[in-house]
Amino acid sequence: MATAPSGTHNFKVVLLGEGCVGKTSLLLRYIEDKFNDKHLTTLQATFLNKRLNINGKRVNLSIWDTAGQEKFHALGPIYYRNSNGAILVYDITDEDSFGKVKNWVKELKKMLGSDIVLTIAGNKIDLEHERTVPLEEAESYANMVGAQHFYTSAKLNQGVEELFLDLTRTMIERYEQNAQTDVNRTSQVVVVDDEAPPTQSSCCSGNRSN
Ligand code: G3D
Ligand code: MG
């Protein structure tokens, strides 16, 4: 996805992470400002749209949520292909879910290189007293792999808006950097005139004497 002629950035963002870490809850909090709405959580949307205006730049986010396939280890490249950004969610009270984030980072970097902006979300901070994933470990890991790290609570609506806003800003920056690289690359292309058509005196003209 890229920028439409109208100047609107169209970005695809995927939510990834173990089952039950709160991916759907974060999305519904962000889009609908709701939590634990049974009607909405059973909706199992493929993606939801959000329009933003950041410093006069129009952005359309298509935020993709899983339909629960992660519970069967059945989420593959079809889900995350062409993504501009990924939100890797873990539950701060569940160490295994943090391990799963590390697996996703490896897979995304291998498959998409640095084309994708990575953001890690430690969700359920309202359960801080039950935390098992050490704060420093999560933050230094994110730093090492070049990802932003946010703490969120879909339940209490903490950090959710900031997470999406920061990711969107970074995607715009990344897009503008790539566009600049393309301009530089194009300006280095040397345009060569078409070759002149062969004349009668050329050796291939059939005038050979022997
Ligand atoms: P998933 O989409 O990653 O599978 P869900 O996760 O959004 O379906 O959430 C799984 C469970 O975690 C839900 O509880 C949900 O209410 C809860 N949850 C999500 N975010 C938070 C949060 O920030 N804090 C707390 N305390 N709980 C959260 P149920 O009981 O419905 O299974
Ligand atoms: Mg879900």
| Helix 160-187 with 23-32: angle, nearest 10 deg | 90
What was the pLDDT predicted at 196?
Answer: 53
Question: pLDDT tens digits, residue range 4-25?
Answer: 556 899 999 999 999 999 999 9
**Model's pTM, two decimal places?**
0.85
Distance CA 114, CA 145 (A): 10
Compute, in angstroms, the gap from residue 91 CA to the centroid of ligand 2. Answer: 13
Who lines ligand 1 at CB under 6 A? 17, 19-25, 36, 41, 123-124, 126-127, 153-155
What was the pLDDT predicted at 207?
Answer: 44
Distance CA 103, CA 101 (A): 5
Return the ligand number nearest the Cα of 124: 1
The two tokens of residue 24 are 């759907």
Class of domain 9-179: alpha beta
Question: pLDDT tens digits, residue range 168-201?
Answer: 999 999 999 888 777 776 666 555 555 555 555 4
Best residue for ligand 1 mutational test, from 18, 20, 28 (most atoms within 8 Å of Cβ): 20
Distance CA 54, CA 57 (A): 5
- Domain residue spans of the chain: 9-179
Please list, in sequence order, all residues whose beta carbon lies within 8 angstroms of the beta carbon of residue 27, skipping any fewer than 6 positions away.
15, 48, 63, 65
33 pLDDT higher than 70: yes
Question: pLDDT tens digits, residue range 85-114?
Answer: 999 999 999 999 999 999 999 999 999 998
